Amino acid sequence: MDQEVEEIARILLHRTGDSSEFIQKAADRSLGVMVGSVTPMRAMAALMAGGVNHRNPPVRKCAAEHLLTVMEQIGAEKLLSGTRDNTELLVQTLVKLAQDCNQDTRFYGRKMLNVLMPHPKFDGYLKQSLPSHNLRNHPEAVFVIVVLKMLLPKGDIEFFCPNTRSRSDTLAPAQPVVRRSSLRSVEAMEQLKELNKLLMAKEFQTRMEGVTLLVEHCRNNPQFVSANIVQIFDAFALRLQDSNKKVNQHALESAASMIPILKDGLHPVVVSMVTVVTDNLNSKNSGIYTAAIMNVSLSLSDNALLLQAFASRVHFISGRAMQDITEHLSALVASVYPRKPQAVERHTLPVLWYFLNNMIGNGVLPGRSGNVRTVVCKLAKSLYKEMGRSLEDHASSQPQHVIKSLRDLLDMELQ
């Protein structure tokens, strides 16, 4: 489930705010199972992207509770060993949770800060990543102020928490040293806020402006987009399936121009992006279909993740989309197998067996519409070209009719 955790977490978190208590509890239990089963770093990214900034307090509470579980699994050493931007974002998020309007959320936020506190670098990250307005005039900032008092010199405490100064101190003008990283963080948050507002607007013209602004960010500051790709994609994904055809096509065309710029920066959202883009391949609108094909045809520096994402889609699509994806899968086999043969065998061979097990007649897949024989033949030959006779070893465990179908497709005898 690792590759699906982002989307699953988003949906389950939304359900924890459901009006039905039964659904709330069921979604919460499912999140608990997810957190205990998937890669912890993936779970943490998904919870931070889909829950901690949610408008609904019960959703934030649930996200904070499970985020605490994940952070305890990962440990402070690994949590604070990432990039500066990611670490600062984590600390900012925890301080925000520690000041949440919900009592339980505040409790979990403070517990998470406790997880990080023993790390020797925590005080430095805390000073660098907190804009002063996070702690100013907030009745629930007491805990964070206490943490700061334990860790920081008096001058730094006054910079972050002006209200903790003595009465005599207030007569002297404050002269804080403004940290560049703090300013960058504030600026980035404002840019994200503006972008999200445009992408989520009611008027379709405004949503198109949001898409255009995102492309400009990619061209002018790709690091900003890559660092915030999960949060940005939450809003942008909706435009890739927008009910307005103009917005939908514009988003797809823009995505095609963004992929070569962002490249590996897209890795956290590749699976989700492939899902929403390929859903457009059955569109009757020629502009939308053409734009979707443009995205499908693009590649990353490491296509193994793309191959996995496309392979997983085959079971959930039909019609022209299935044929397009299978054909692209054949091309990916050639680029991935020389470097990662196990990835091809793990993800692409099951697709081939699925087709050969279910095709009837001259290549029709029951209930999925259309004749897929041509693209399945292309996939089989692409695999054989890379794997050679080892394809026989893998096929030997399949039913006899599958082996026969493979033999027919390759026009050869497997001995």
Quick: pLDDT tens for 200-239: 999 999 999 999 999 999 999 999 999 899 889 888 988 9
Considering the domain architecture, whether residues 310 and 278 belong to the same structural domain is answered as: no
**Is 172 a domain residue?**
no
Cβ neighbours of residue 286 under 8 Å, at least 6 residues apart? none
Cβ neighbours of residue 321 under 8 Å, at least 6 residues apart? 278, 279, 281, 282
Considering the domain architecture, whether residues 12 and 118 belong to the same structural domain is answered as: yes
**What's the whole-number average pLDDT of the chain?**
81
Instruction: Please tell me which of 3-12, 177-186, 363-372 the model is most confident about, judged by mean pLDDT.
Output: 3-12
Considering the domain architecture, whether residues 25 and 12 belong to the same structural domain is answered as: yes
pTM over 0.85: no
155 contacts 175 by C-beta, under 8 angstroms: no
Considering the domain architecture, whether residues 354 and 276 belong to the same structural domain is answered as: no
How many domains does the chain contain in total?
Answer: 3
233 contacts 200 by C-beta, under 8 angstroms: no
**Is 173 a domain residue?**
no
**Is 82 a domain residue?**
yes
Among 299, 314, 339, the domain boundary falls at 299
Q: Which domain holds residue 317?
A: 302-414
Among 243, 265, 299, the domain boundary falls at 299
Question: In whole angstroms, what is the distance from residue 359 CA to residue 369 CA?
Answer: 11
128 contacts 92 by C-beta, under 8 angstroms: no
144 versus 333: the higher-pLDDT residue is 333
Burial 329-347 (b: 16+ CB within 10 A, else e): bbbbbebbbeeeeebbbeb
6 contacts 268 by C-beta, under 8 angstroms: yes
**Is 168 a domain residue?**
no
Structure tokens at 412: 């050869």
**Is 13 a domain residue?**
yes
Considering the domain architecture, whether residues 18 and 128 belong to the same structural domain is answered as: yes
Residue 343: is its pLDDT beyond 60? Answer: yes
Considering the domain architecture, whether residues 311 and 280 belong to the same structural domain is answered as: no
Considering the domain architecture, whether residues 8 and 108 belong to the same structural domain is answered as: yes
The β-bridge partners of 360 are: 364
Considering the domain architecture, whether residues 278 and 345 belong to the same structural domain is answered as: no
Considering the domain architecture, whether residues 60 and 45 belong to the same structural domain is answered as: yes
Considering the domain architecture, whether residues 279 and 340 belong to the same structural domain is answered as: no
Considering the domain architecture, whether residues 245 and 210 belong to the same structural domain is answered as: yes
pLDDT in tens, 260-316: 999 888 888 888 888 889 989 999 999 999 999 998 887 777 788 889 889 988 887
Q: What pLDDT is stored for residue 110 in this prediction?
A: 84
Q: What pLDDT is stored for residue 135 in this prediction?
A: 45
**Is 156 a domain residue?**
no
**Is 402 a domain residue?**
yes
DSSP code per residue over 289-326: HHHHHHHHH---SSTHHHHHHHHHHGGG--HHHHHHHH
Q: Which CATH number covers residue 266?
A: 1.25.10.10
Considering the domain architecture, whether residues 252 and 349 belong to the same structural domain is answered as: no
**Is 227 a domain residue?**
yes
